[in-house]
Chains A and B, each alone.
Chain A
Amino acid sequence: MAPTEDNRPVAFVTPLVDIETTDDGYVIRAEMPGVEKGGLEITVDNGEMTILGRRKPTEFTAELIYREIQPHDFRRVYELDPSIDVTRVGAKIDDGILTVTLPKAETVKPRKISVQ
C-alpha cells in the first residue's frame, strides 16, 4: 500500500444514501462496505447528526496492483428535523448497509373532551 504523508488533511468518502419517510419519522440507509458494527460512530450534537464509519483494515499483505476503492473512512453530516426525538435514534449495520431510524417525537395525541 502507498505510504501516507503525515501532514495531509484527513480525507473521507461520502457514502451513498437513501432517505425514506415513514409514518413514524425517517429512515436513512447508507452504503458503507467494509465497515463493521465496531467501526461505527454516530453522534448527535446541537441538531446535527454525524455518521462516521471506519473501514476495517485489510488482513492480507499482498501487493495492491489495481485500485478503485477509496481507502478512506465514510463520513456524512445531517441537520436534523427539530421534530425528531434524538433520544430514540436507532442504528444497525448489515452487509455494509447502515440503517438509521429517526423517529418523530410523540406529539400530543388528540383527546376527546367530554361536555359536562
Chain B
Amino acid sequence: MNIVRYQRYPQTDLSAVLDRITRMQAEMDRVYNSTFGSSLRSPASLSRWNPAVDVYQDKDQFVVVAELPGLKKEEIEILLHDATLTISGERKHEGSSEQGFFTERFYGKYQRSLTLPTPVDPGKVKASYRDGLLQVVLPKAEEAKPKQIEVALK
C-alpha cells in the first residue's frame, strides 16, 4: 500500500499524471500477479476500454455522466442492481475500408460499474445520450433523502 498525498485540484502537469499511472499500473500488476500468477496474464485484459465517468449529487438525485463517443443507442446497455449502476456495450468499427494506418481508439466491448452511496429509486431512472455523452439521472430512494425535523419550541 502506497500513501499518496491528497491533492485538492486535478493535476494538469503531464509528467505527474504519468507518474501516477505508472505507480497505479505497478500496484495493479503486483496485485494481479500475487492473486493469479503471471502465467494467466493476458494483454487484452489490460487494454480494455473503461469509459470515464463523473458523478454529481444534489439532495434529490445522482447524475452519472459517461464519455461514450460515437455509439448508437443500441450499443449502450444500462443495468441497475440495487445501488450499482453498470454501463456496458460494444463499439464496432465505423471505417469502410481496411486501410487504417494509425489507430488509438478502442473498439469492442466496454463495461463500467459504479456503486452509488445511497439507494436509488429504480423506477425513476432516466438516461439520455447526446454529443457522445451518456447522462443517467437516478433519483434517490425516499428513505435516503435528507429529512428536516421540526423542533417544537415550548
Contacts and interface: CB of A to CB of B under 8 A. Distances in A.
A95 to B, nearest CB: 5
Chain A binding site: helix, strand, loop or mixed by DSSP?
A: loop
Nearest to A9: B12
A114 B7 CA distance: 76
A35 B70 CA distance: 12
Nearest to A17: B104
A55 to B, nearest CB: 9
Interface string B51-65: 011111110010101
Given A34-B131, A63-B56, A96 B12 contact: no
Interface residues of A, number: 39
B8 A66 contact: no
Interface in B27-85: 52-58, 61, 63, 65, 67-71
A60 B63 contact: yes
A107 B57 CA distance: 58
B19 interface: no
B57 A63 contact: yes
Per CB-CB distance, the 5 closest pairs between chain A and chain B, nearest first, are A96-B132, A96-B69, A33-B132, A11-B12, A62-B56
Interface of B: 8-10, 12, 52-58, 61, 63, 65, 67-71, 94-95, 97, 99-106, 114, 117, 129, 131-133
